[in-house]
Amino acid sequence: MFPLKDLKRSLLVSLWFALLTFPLMVIQVDPIERVVNWRWHNMFFVAMGSFVISVVSKVFFAQKEQQLARKRDAGDEVSETLFQRVLHEPRALFLLSMASLVFALAFPFLFSTYQTNVMTTALMYVVLGLGLNIVVGLAGLLDLGYVAFYAVGAYSYALLNHHFGLGFWTVLPVGGLMAAFFGILLGFPVLRLRGDYLAIVTLGFGEIIRLILENWNDFSMGPSGIANIARPGLFGLDLNLNMAILYLYYLMIALLMITVFVVNRLQDSRLGRAWVALREDEIACQAMGIDKTRTKLVAFALGAFWAGIIGVVFAAKTTFVNPASFTFLESAIILSIVVLGGMGSIVGVIFAALILILLPEYLRFLSEYRMLVFGAILVLMMVFRPEGLISNRRRIYQFKKKG
Amino acid sequence: MMSETILQVTGLTMDFGGIRALDTLDFEVRAGEILALIGPNGAGKTTLFNCVTGIYTPSGGDILLYQPGVRARTRLNGLKPNHVAEKGVARTFQNIRLFSKMTVLENVMVGRHCRTKAFILGAVFRDRKTRAEEQAIVEQSYALLKEVGLAAQVNELAGNLSYGAQRRLEIARALATEPFLLLLDEPAAGMNPQETIRLVQLIGKIRDQGHAILLIEHDMKLVMTLSDRIVVMDYGRKIAEGAPEEVRSNKEVIRAYLGEEG
């Protein structure tokens, strides 16, 4: 039943794994006794474990392949998952979003303040992901320096609050607009670039912003950052810490809803179509009368705008900013959210952000293996859903047959 | 009676490094005609299309466009592709360039871009004007798809269409920009005989609606039946011009196609 060839390959895989994990799993140096413990039994476990996993996965994939082939023979279309079908049923989608909204609103009362705080962070990444989704997912411009705009927003609030005492609500739009301005600033020189080249330049841009913040002491107070930033105000009320966390949480929920609404409408508009067309084929897009320059700059500016807004929220939430919060790793995480969620898919981005931000939090019980498991989950997700969690499906139009 | 000129190309030259792809080319397209551009591979036909539609900036010469209802002529040299499209010149591509991950309908809707206005605020707030515009885009695009015979596949992804259907979709998308001059780059390439017959009917219909057509094609039967005039190119030069019968018997043309002895 199970081909011998596959069995051999699984055996090879297990040997390879045993060899790879040898230094980690077998050798243990005891510095006090000055001896090396050779834990050979571990090698056996690793080999057995990887062998079983390999065989099981091979059987699983073979079955899946057979199913697909059978369906193709039967002439059926390759079916979508139940979840995907639910998403494309308007009423089901509505119910699902209502249910999640109710859950989101009740969340702070069901869980601890700590959990609420973590959730707020996750929501911030959802919005960041949705913002970057405009640039990467829709317009197809690979931006590796997205965190720069996040930093612009955060420092806008930090500096304006520090020097002029401006409040959160005043700076929220200012931070967004500042970031959008920087988005256009970055957009101009990279108009001609695509793909890898664009990625490199945006990566450089992100680093430039961070290095400026780190080294221009007179302007940004360097690596020591800016502390004592005011939390968002609520009609001049004095909020204690718990209340402030709650307030920020609901504020993020509102912001997320606005973002989803706006991005959804943009996606399904003349501008959204122009972005996707630009992603698909730049030359054909221009030949159809689309102004490439304008369309790209708008994508950069709008994407940056959301990052700026969230930057302001970030500064208000932590009440402290320094350049260490805006490293390339942040850009990479936000980009992973977009890719993992499925380019251009709003629901996908929301799920991916929640998974990517919450998972490391809830894996804390695994202590030092936390990041290892996290990495494994990421790899598995990309193996099983290479198009992202939820692939973007185009809008369907209905026409009545006339005549 | 000769109808008026709508596109006039004079002394058009295009150099790529040391290679002269177009060499002082002169010709004109008249209103409502089908002008075929033929010549061996590498004669510079597609280069000419790219110069006219703004993808290349010519090294020399003039491309002048006479828009209907506009008295001043427009020089197309060095204009950006999107501005050329706005002036009423649309094209298809030899190697099909559809937006393959968009639906058939959306492809045509993108073509309406340069004739519509909605922008960020319109998209977000969806005021009455934007909604009406959007509705019109959908209806016009659907009408165009019916015309090219793709009404049944509106919601299909463009990349999943058959080769012939993709070519027709490219024509529909180009028509969506409301051109008065349509440039077709080998529309029949890769089509089977039935598809070609339908294509001939379609191109004839488009001409009858008043669009002038500049056509690159290797299918001689199609060229001879459809075109009003033919321009023959070889090594970037025009070697012959005239009605199909004249061109068919032209010695230069026979030599270019069949070699010296022919």
Which one of B90, B124, B177 has the shortest CB-CB distance to A266? B124
Between A and B, how many residue pairs show a Cβ–Cβ distance under 8 A?
122
CA atoms within 13 A of residue B73's CA, in its CB half-sphere: 14
What pLDDT does A401 receive? Answer: 53
Smallest CA–CA distance from B133 into chain A, residue? A270
Mean pLDDT of A333-340: 89
What is residue A2's predicted lDDT score, i.e. its pLDDT? Answer: 65
Which chain B residues touch A292 with a CB distance below 8 Å?
82
Reduced to 3 states (helix: H, G, I; strand: E, B; else coil), residue B28 is strand
Give B133's contacts in chain A (Cβ within 8 Å): 270
Rounded Cα distance, A160 and A175, in Å: 10
pLDDT bucket at B1, cuts 50 / 70 / 90: very low
Per residue in B234-262, pLDDT tens?
A: 888 999 899 988 888 888 888 887 776 54
Q: What is the DSSP letter of A223?
A: G
For residue A18, how many C-alpha atoms fall within 13 Å in the half-sphere facing its CB? 18
Smallest Cβ–Cβ distance between B99 and the set A276, A286, A397 belongs to A276
A138, A288, A391, best to mutate vs chain B, most B CBs in 10 Å: A288
Rounded Cα–Cα distance for residues A27 and A42 (Å): 10
Contact A269 B157 (CB under 8 A): no
Beta carbons of A394 and B90 less than 8 Å apart: no
Contacts of A302 in chain B (CB under 8 A): 120
Q: What pLDDT, in 10s, does the model give residues B7-58? A: 999 999 999 988 899 999 999 999 989 999 998 888 899 999 999 999 999 9
Nearest to A277 among B80, B93, B102 (CB): B102
A290 closest CA partner among B35, B258, B119, B26: B119
Say whether pLDDT at A23 is over 90.
Answer: no
B82, A271: Cβ pair inside 8 Å? no
What are the boundaries of each domain within chain A? 4-74, 111-384
Give Rg (Cα) of chain B. Answer: 19
Task: Provide the pairing of β-strand B5-16 with B60-65.
Answer: antiparallel
ipTM associated with this complex = 0.90
B37 bridge partner residues: B216, B231
d(CA A118, CA A71): 44
Domain A111-384 has CATH 1.10.3470: yes
Q: What one-letter code names the amino acid at A370?
A: R
Q: What is the mean pLDDT of chain B?
A: 89
Helix (H) or strand (E) holding A128: helix A113-132
Give the range with max mean pLDDT: A80-94, A234-248, B78-92.
B78-92
Mutate to test the interface with A, among B49, B96, B108, B124 (most CBs of A within 10 A): B124
Which segment, A219-223, A379-383, B20-24, is predicted with the most confidence on average?
A: B20-24
Chain centroid to CA A195: how far?
19
Nearest CA in chain A to B179: A288
| pLDDT 10s digits, B116-147 | 888 888 888 888 888 988 889 999 999 999 99
Residue of A nearest to B108 (CA): A288
pLDDT digits (tens, 9 = 90+) for A251-298: 999 999 999 999 999 988 999 999 999 999 999 999 999 999 999 999
- For the segment A116-129, the average pLDDT, to the nearest whole number, is 93
| A298 contact residues in B (CB cutoff 8 A) | 120
Q: CB–CB of A289 and B80 under 8 A?
A: no
Least confident of A297-311, B46-60, B64-78: B64-78
For residue B81, the Cα-to-chain-centroid distance in whole angstroms is 13
Higher pLDDT among residues B18 and A394, named by residue: B18
User: Which pLDDT score is estimated for B2?
Assistant: 55
Q: What is the DSSP letter of A137?
A: I
How would you classify residue B8: left for phi > 0, otherwise alpha for psi between -120 and 50, otherwise beta?
A: beta
Query: Which of B82, B124, B154 lies nearest to residue A265, judging by beta carbons?
Result: B124
Unique residue bearing structure tokens 């073509």: B111
**The pLDDT value given to residue A403:** 38
Task: Provide DSSP, A83-118.
Answer: HHHHHTSHHHHHHHHHHHHHHHHHHHHHS-HHHHHH
Q: What percent of chain B has pLDDT over 90?
A: 53
Question: How far is Cα of residue B178 from the mean position of the Cα atoms in its chain?
Answer: 12
Judge whether residue A402 has pLDDT over 50.
no
User: Residue B215 — pLDDT band, cuts 50, 70, 90?
Assistant: very high
The letter for the amino acid at B213 is I
Instruction: Average the pLDDT over A23-50 and give the result.
Output: 85
Kindly give, in sequence order, each residue whose CB lies less than 8 Å from that of residue B102, ignoring residues fewer than 6 positions away: A273, A276, A277, A280, A394, B110, B157, B158
Checking if the pLDDT of B74 tops 50, the result is yes
H or E, element range at A305: helix A292-318
Q: Which residues of B are less than 8 Å from A269 in CB distance?
A: 118, 122-123, 130, 134
Among candidate residues B250, B219, B210, B215, the one with its CA nearest the CA of residue B229: B215
Question: Does residue A196 carry a pLDDT above 80?
Answer: yes
Write down the pLDDT at residue B49. 92
